[in-house]
Amino acid sequence: MNNKELILETIQKITPLKQEWFETAKKRLDNLTKPLGSLGRLEDLAQKICAIQENDHPTSKNKVIFTLASDHGITEEGISAYPQEVTPQMVFNFINQGAAINVLSKTVNAKVVVVDIGVAQEMPELPGLINKKIRKGTSNFAKEPAMSREEAYQSIATGIALVEEEIKNGVDLIGTGEMGIGNTTPSSAITATITDKKVEQVTGQGTGIPQESLNHKIGVIEIALALHKPNAQDPIDVLSKVGGFEIGGMAGIMLGAAKNRIPVVIDGFISGAAALIAHGLCPTVSEYLIPAHRSSEPGHDAVLKHLGLIPLLDLRMRLGEGTGAALGMFLVEASLKIINEMATFEQAHVSEKVEILIK
């Protein structure tokens, strides 16, 4: 089976969530010792997990955050505050447990799976690093397509395969994360194309570039979009012309997880761009996505609106790595403890609400 066939087969197995599971979960939540709906979005979250897992006692015991690393040829245009060498340096940091994602993942007992899907530097074999390198970074899409159409398929298929491999170890909840100097630029290009927003509306300062550099970044993206004219109705065309290997990989993770009825807690703007690609290929995939937080990157609002998703948190974060996903997992776990561990009125011998009749 080739990469395109794998993607098509995966999409065909993604089915909409069944309303009956939302109703089953709501009935349980409404019988717990609290006023109806008083735990707000935590109750909505519990219902969604029940519907995804098709289980009235859902679990989040086995949690995995995929952190995909890749480089971008567009950095040649001077659109980032950091040099490309930081990508492999941060991969070593992930492996050595020194990064923010390592710290935050431990708070929710989540396993971090670090993947080289396109780091420009040749990486040594290291315990804890999965080598899925497609090639050493994308091409400079200000001058030529970021990747071939086949490489776009390969990046998505790689994400699907990562999920299938991890399922062998048991996984109940997945988070997406990434590392790649310059990757807010392809994310902005993807977002502008698919949401039909102006580039300046969806492009931010990334790792902290000054206003002058931001203006340059916007100009580079505008030139690239005018050059390639990516087709918003063809997600593979968009990904291949202005995307990134880690973005395609995360899109594949979302598709693979949805196929296997596993909830996906997506991180910020770059994960959001990947979600746009996944949604373009299979709109139903959005039903399986849980947006962890609202990134301070301006394009993220456009992404969330396009996907019809409301973030759980708004902490002005813009780090990536899967850090927001780790925090989102905490709320998922809290919602499941509520539905699984709270007592019902009958169990606790607590009187239920009575109807007040006014004559």
- What are the phi and psi torsion angles at 94 (to 5°)? -60, -45
DSSP string covering 77-144: GS--SS-TTHHHHHHHHHHTT-SHHHHHHHHTTEEEEEEEEE-SSPPPP-TTEEE--SSSS---TTTS
Supply the Cα-derived Rg of the chain in whole angstroms.
21
CB 272 within 8 A of CB 188: no
> Catalytic residue positions?
321
In whole angstroms, what is the distance from residue 291 CA to residue 294 CA? Answer: 8
pLDDT of res. 356: 54
- Which helix (H) or strand (E) segment holds residue 152: the answer is helix 149-167
The model's pTM is 0.96
Helix (H) or strand (E) holding 63: strand 63-70
The pLDDT of residue 353: 65
**Which domains are delineated in the chain?**
63-330 (3.40.50.10210)
pLDDT digit string, tens, across residues 182-208: 999 999 999 999 999 999 999 998 878
Cβ neighbors of 263 (< 8 A, separation 6 or more) are: 48, 49, 52, 53, 173, 174, 257, 288, 290, 332
Quick one: pLDDT at residue 55?
A: 96
Q: Which three-class secondary structure state does DSSP give residue 37? A: coil
pLDDT at 355: 58
pLDDT lower than 50: segments of the chain: none
From residue 25, give the alpha-carbon distance in Å to each of 16, 54, 92, 144, 353.
17, 10, 43, 50, 20
Whole-number pLDDT of residue 354: 54
DSSP state of 305: H
Give the pLDDT confidence score for residue 206 in this predicted structure: 83
Q: Which residues are CB-neighbours of 39 under 8 A, at least 6 positions away? A: 29, 338
Give the single-character DSSP code of 74. Answer: G
Q: CA 63, 65, 70 angle in degrees (round to 5)?
A: 165
Q: Under a CB-based contact definition with an 8 Å cutoff, are residues 277 and 243 in contact?
A: yes
**Residue 253's pLDDT is what?**
98
* Strand order through the sheet with 289-291: 129-131, 110-118, 63-70, 173-179, 264-266, 289-291
What ranges in 170-267 are assigned the alpha helix state H?
184-195, 211-228, 235-242, 245-259
pLDDT in the model for residue 54? 97
Distance CA 323, CA 321 (A): 6
Tokens of 174: 């997945």
Structure tokens at 199: 């580039």
Token digits of residue 285? 């995939």
Element containing residue 278 per DSSP (H, E): helix 269-281
In the prediction, which pLDDT does 278 show? 98
Query: Using N-to-C axis directions, what is the helix angle for 235-242 and 245-259, rounded to 10°?
Result: 150
